[in-house]
C-alpha cells in the first residue's frame, strides 16, 4: 500500500526554505504532490479510436448540413 505525502510540506522541517516559505537562489524547491489515488481505478480503456456508429452519424450530419448550405447558395443565385 502506498503512503501519500503531505501536499503542504512543513516549512520548519523542509530544508532550503526561507522563513516566508520561499526558495533562495540556487536551491531546488520541494517536489509537488501528485494525485495517484484521485479517481477510480480504470479497468476498461479501449485501444481503438471512435466506434463506427457515432462516426457514421457525425459524417451523415456533416453531409446534410453541407447539402443545405449548397441548396441555400443555389437558391440565392436564382
In a domain, 4, yes or no: no
Query: Structural domain of residue 71, as residue ranges?
Result: 51-78
In a domain, 41, yes or no: no
In a domain, 20, yes or no: no
CA dihedral 10→12→14→16, nearest 10 degrees, is 140
Q: 45: which 3 cell numbers? A: 480503456
Return the DSSP state at 4.
P
Asked if residue 2 lies in contact with residue 34, where contact means CB atoms within 8 angstroms, the answer is no
pLDDT of 19-68, one tens digit each? 776 777 777 665 655 566 666 777 777 667 778 888 899 999 999 999 99
Domains in the chain: how many in total? 1
Asked if residue 9 lies in contact with residue 1, where contact means CB atoms within 8 angstroms, the answer is no
pTM of the model: 0.40
Q: In the structure, what pLDDT confidence band is assigned to residue 76 with cuts at 50, 70 and 90?
A: very high
Amino acid at each position: 500500500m502506498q503512503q501519500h505525502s503531505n501536499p503542504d510540506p512543513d516549512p520548519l522541517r523542509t530544508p532550503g526554505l526561507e522563513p516566508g516559505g520561499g526558495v533562495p537562489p540556487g536551491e531546488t524547491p520541494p517536489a509537488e504532490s501528485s494525485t495517484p489515488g484521485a479517481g477510480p481505478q480504470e479497468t476498461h480503456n479501449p485501444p481503438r479510436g471512435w466506434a463506427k456508429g457515432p462516426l457514421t452519424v457525425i459524417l451523415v450530419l456533416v453531409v446534410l448540413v453541407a447539402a443545405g448550405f449548397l441548396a441555400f447558395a443555389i437558391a440565392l443565385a436564382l
